[in-house]
Structure 1
Amino acid sequence: MVRPALVAALLGSLSVLGGCMRKEPAPQASTPEAGTSAPTQTSGAILFVSADTRGYLGPCGCSENMRGGIGRAAFQVSEARKGGLPVLYVDGGNSLFGETTLKPGQVPQEELKAKALADAMRLMGLSVRATGPLDDTRGAAFRQGLGLPEVGDGAVKLLPAGSRQVGIVSAETGAQLVAASGQARSQGADFVVGLLDAPLEEAQKAAELPGLAVDVLVATRSATELSGEQNRLVKSAVPVVAPQSKGRSLVRVDLSFAPRPGRFTLQKGQADMEREVAALEQRAVLLDKDINQPGIDPKLKALKQAKRDELVARKQALVSAPPAAATDVNGFTVRFVPLEAGLPSLPDAQALVARYDAEVGKLNLAWAKEHGQDCPAPAKGQSSFVGNAPCKSCHEEAFPLWEKSKHHHAWETLVDLGKQHHLNCVGCHVTGWEQPSGVCRLDKVEGREDVGCESCHGPGSAHVDEPSSDNIVASPGEALCVTCHNAENSPHFDFATYLPRILGPGHGEPVSAKPSGSPVDAQKPAKP
């Protein structure tokens, strides 16, 4: 067993999600005391909402310019507090874990990560949060033990916002939402935010229910991985928002107060800003695809990155600028704040990330040594993993190409960052992770480091014993590649573009052929 003293020491030091994260720029900001704001005026208020974070404290970092990171979110809230208006931070739930069930080996890491996320929320001055199924993965007692302020399903929490009251209501169903929103109004809420534990489509239906008394409705759970990839805002009588999942965006609501209390109306004039932001995002997406192109010239990459950073700065100025206040009505605007790469992180929040990264690997390795079990043997008649050495004995001509590739350095990239024992990362950086006869223990990786031959061609024992095209995957296709080069880790992956980067003499081409444009000709060859 893992020694109790070790677990206690490791759980005392918290931080953020494992992944090869890009170095954050140094922000020029002071850290606010959690939960404080000293408004000098009460002409309005600012509300930030996160939801559907799914246990992500930061992006995996496997590609350039990935969104997300609790440090970036904390910086946005901190900067808003400098403006003098009351600032409220609310979490919609489904934030602490990414799955409703965990394997035993995942438990130490995921609990440590949830604790780090809770600490980050406190640092941001969390006002209240709703809960969802992804918050109770380790049970209600664990969730409650984190000590975060919560609002239960069908319940109301009133938050002071200068001269007004903001009501936060949480619900699992439309009926709960209607009842709780009416209760919030009766208790004196001037502005009501609904947090519905449902996907956007269900939230849209709830927004049309008679008797609903919310001003903004947040869908706090994405239906699928794909639906969580984008920020979505549906403008209707009640605006319905669904932020990008995995902590990649915040919802920002700006309130402007008229001299007298009254119902709030969605301010006009936001459409022009939204169109400009959308245009900047489209241009950034195109640049991202170029920047992540395998084998791109370093000078060209730097130029494109500089242009992208300029677009991000322009977009950030748009989404963080206060709207023009309506002097005669109580108004509000709703917009998203994408947490783009290149934006600063709050130092104290990044310190949580750094401590987590340092401690979670130690915790995982200790667990593996005490409790780890080897992978099962293959089923009768199935091949087992044998490593690269037997492959090289017959296919030596293919190895010069592989040895210059990123696949060959996959394990090294984790070691360089100290993340070789992070469960979120290791599976795509070794050969045969959690497969029969493969690697199932972090303390027994030796000999299976990197993305080797069998990562793409399958276990090779039968082929080694009796070479034949019938007992090996001769030409692996796109379906295999996207198990690692997926939308999350490699969002700009294009099979037709990447494939030529791993083909060459002895590996898809005759040894005598000159591989024009292949990695062999490149000074620093790239390979997915």
Structure 2
Amino acid sequence: MLLRFPGHTTMMRPPLGGQEALRLAGCVALLLLLAVSAAPATERQPDLVIFFSGGIEGFIDQCGCSRFPMGGLGRRGGYIRKVRRRWPGATSVLLDVGNFSDRPGLVGDIKTRGLVRGMNYLGYRLAAVGERDLAGGLEHFEKVTAEAEFPLICANLVREDTRIPLLPPATLLVAGKLKIGVVGLMRHNPALRLKLPGGGYAITAPPYPALDNALTALRGQSDLIVLLAAMPLEDVRLLTRRAREVELVLGAFGPRATPRAVIDGRARILYVGDQGKNLGQVNIYRSSSGNLSFEPLLVQINEKIPADATLEQMVVETLADAQDAERATLTAMDPSGEGGTGAYLGAGACAACHSAIVQEWSSSPHALALESLKREPNGMRPACIACHVTGHGQVGGWVDQRTTPHLAGVGCEACHGPGASHVAHPERPYGRISLPTCTGCHTVELDPDFNYYGDLPLVSH
């Protein structure tokens, strides 16, 4: 019997007879039995798993992104532990591309040292060095990384007079049955010139000659050559077209991340982004003939990944030490014993002359910014608080709720600057705002819908 529908013709069979139905049922049962009894296919483990980070910039905790907070040393460790449990027979290696340091300073140094201790705990095999790592100078960098149990490499950080590298340009890692030659490079910055402790200066040399020299020592010894590149991806592609021995480039420079590896000749290039939001992973398989195949992955370190408890405790302790140091710095008196003329006074000081404006502000989202943060899960993190209070990180500005309750929320001085000098000299120009005033907090990541020119009239007065 044929059933016809517009544009479609099919056959409908009459009901099955008893014997035919039994035969069909028997076939189905046999197929089910075979499916159950068949041995499941065993997942092939990689011979080597390379994990890599880069551009962490001192972010030991998750980023301050309001919509999709990512990163954090604890979750990174949790993910690595999960993979190691999944493939207990695979060798794993952890590398860092460079630019892992926080800003130089009392608070930033505490976080950099905490990050280095976390990298020790995870078993990093080495880290390359980037420009940000050297922002405080060479002696400062040596101090904040003194506890590192892994080598630091860079092929193109050289003495200005002799062009001899200051750090090992490359190293040969033995990982299971594989030998990996690893070279580190940073961006060539002609303006970078660092004073050396014993006299002279350090500079960055052009990358390709430095890479070629480093490869000379690795040729014939490595099963695989990996380049750690703290430089723009476009610069890397120029290098790999000349340095054909490089098969794998692990990079980080700013927020750029490559969800899929960029293939350029023999090289597979994977960029991981910044602030520790992602983790790079390359699964490597070796055939019976010795050939290598690669499976590059970019892993988002998000809230679904359970954190490693030990690392999470290290993060909590490090951030607590950093907050204590910041509090001590911000509450320290001026050497003269006075608070200075740049002190923050709070919105209450503005009300005497601008009562209507302050009254309107008091019920605004800016005024209630800290309260809104308290309602968010894990909202009161240091990375988030800065944009929800007034004068964070500034002498005379926000310290904590107990010390500076009058600076809670985004007050007048968050946009217009410290008010003490204005109160003392109201006739002087004060309070002009511009695009950078707002975009320090209203970034693409934190507030993707923000438009300075469209949103400014909403708070104009």
Give the TM-score of the pair, scaled to structure 2.
0.68
CA distance in 2, matches of 1:499, 1:366: 35
C-alpha spacing 1:43/1:244, structure 2 compared with 1 (3 Å): closer
Matched, 1:332 2:360: no
CA distance in 2, matches of 1:80, 1:160: 20
Task: Return 116-125 or 405-414, whichever deviates more.
Answer: 405-414
Corresponding letter in the other structure for 1:109: V
CA distance in 2, matches of 1:67, 1:492: 19
Matched, 1:72 2:56: no
CA distance in 2, matches of 1:70, 1:466: 48
Deviations 1:423-468 (A, max 9, x none): x666544435678xx8358497464443223433556689879999
Aligned residue for 1:142? Answer: 143
C-alpha spacing 1:53/1:479, structure 2 compared with 1 (3 Å): closer
Matched, 1:354 2:316: yes
Q: How does 1:90-129 map to 2 (within 5 A)?
A: 90-97=95-102, 99=103, 102=104, 107-129=105-127
Alpha-carbon deviation of 1:368?
A: 4.1
Q: Which has the higher strand share?
A: 2
Aligned residue for 2:247? Answer: 215
CA distance in 2, matches of 1:363, 1:390: 28
Corresponding letter in the other structure for 1:485: H
Matched, 1:363 2:325: yes
CA distance in 2, matches of 1:147, 1:426: 30
Aligned residue for 2:92? Answer: 87
Identity percentage of aligned residues: 23
Alpha-carbon deviation of 1:164?
A: 2.1
1:71 aligned counterpart, secondary structure: helix
Alpha-carbon deviation of 1:128?
A: 1.7
CA distance in 2, matches of 1:354, 1:332: 36
Matched, 1:235 2:263: yes
Matched, 1:450 2:397: no
Aligned residue for 1:277? Answer: none
C-alpha spacing 1:73/1:116, structure 2 compared with 1 (3 Å): same
- Structure 1 residue runs of 5 or longer lacking an equivalent are 1-39, 263-329, 379-383, 509-528
Aligned residue for 1:431? Answer: 390
Q: 2:220 aligns with which of 166, 186, 190?
A: 186
Alpha-carbon deviation of 1:252?
A: 1.1
* Partners of 1:432 and 1:455 within 8 A in 2: yes
Aligned residue for 1:45? Answer: 48
Count of aligned positions? 374
Alpha-carbon deviation of 1:244?
A: 0.4
Q: How does 1:489-528 map to 2 (within 5 A)?
A: 489-495=446-452
Alpha-carbon deviation of 1:134?
A: 2.7
Alpha-carbon deviation of 1:48?
A: 0.7
CA distance in 1, matches of 2:45, 2:76: 24
Q: 2:64 aligns with which of 36, 61, 83?
A: 61
Corresponding letter in the other structure for 1:340: N
Aligned residue for 1:259? Answer: 288
* Partners of 1:65 and 1:342 within 8 A in 2: no
* Partners of 2:256 and 2:271 within 8 A in 1: no
Give the TM-score of the pair, scaled to structure 1.
0.60
CA distance in 2, matches of 1:486, 1:116: 27
Q: Which has the higher helix share?
A: 1
Alpha-carbon deviation of 1:113?
A: 0.7
- Larger relative contact order (CA 8 Å, sep ≥ 6): 1
C-alpha spacing 1:426/1:150, structure 2 compared with 1 (3 Å): same
CA distance in 2, matches of 1:214, 1:204: 11
CA distance in 2, matches of 1:398, 1:52: 42
Corresponding letter in the other structure for 1:493: F
- Structure 2 residue runs of 5 or longer lacking an equivalent are 1-42, 156-168, 187-206
Superposition RMSD on alpha carbons, in Å? 3.9
* Partners of 1:409 and 1:450 within 8 A in 2: yes
Alpha-carbon deviation of 1:206?
A: 1.0
Aligned residue for 2:198? Answer: none
Matched, 1:198 2:218: no
CA distance in 1, matches of 2:71, 2:353: 45
Larger radius of gyration: 2
* Partners of 2:117 and 2:148 within 8 A in 1: no
CA distance in 2, matches of 1:463, 1:256: 67
CA distance in 2, matches of 1:159, 1:425: 39
2:77 aligned counterpart, secondary structure: helix
Aligned residue for 2:131? Answer: 133
Q: 1:404 aligns with which of 363, 376, 386?
A: 363
Q: 2:180 aligns with which of 166, 173, 178?
A: 166
2:235 aligned counterpart, secondary structure: helix
* Partners of 2:116 and 2:145 within 8 A in 1: no
Aligned residue for 1:7? Answer: none
Matched, 1:342 2:304: yes
CA distance in 2, matches of 1:113, 1:372: 26
